[in-house]
Amino acid sequence: MTELYILQNQEGLFLGKQKDWLDGRDRGALYKTPHRDEAVNLKVEVSAKDFEQRITIHSCQTDERGLPVIGADAVSSGPVASKAAEVESSAEESPSADAPASTTDDLPPSES
3-state secondary structure at position 15: strand
pLDDT of residue 106: 61
Q: What is the pTM of this model?
A: 0.64
Strand partners, 56: 8
Helix (H) or strand (E) holding 6: strand 3-8
pLDDT digits (tens), the chain, 112 positions: 689 999 999 999 999 999 999 999 999 999 999 999 999 999 999 999 999 999 999 999 999 999 999 877 676 555 444 343 343 444 445 455 555 555 555 666 666 5
pLDDT of residue 86: 43
Q: Is the CB of residue 4 less than 8 Å from the CB of residue 59?
A: yes
pLDDT of residue 91: 46
Domain boundaries, the chain: 3-93
Distance of alpha carbon 7 from alpha carbon 10, whole angstroms:
10
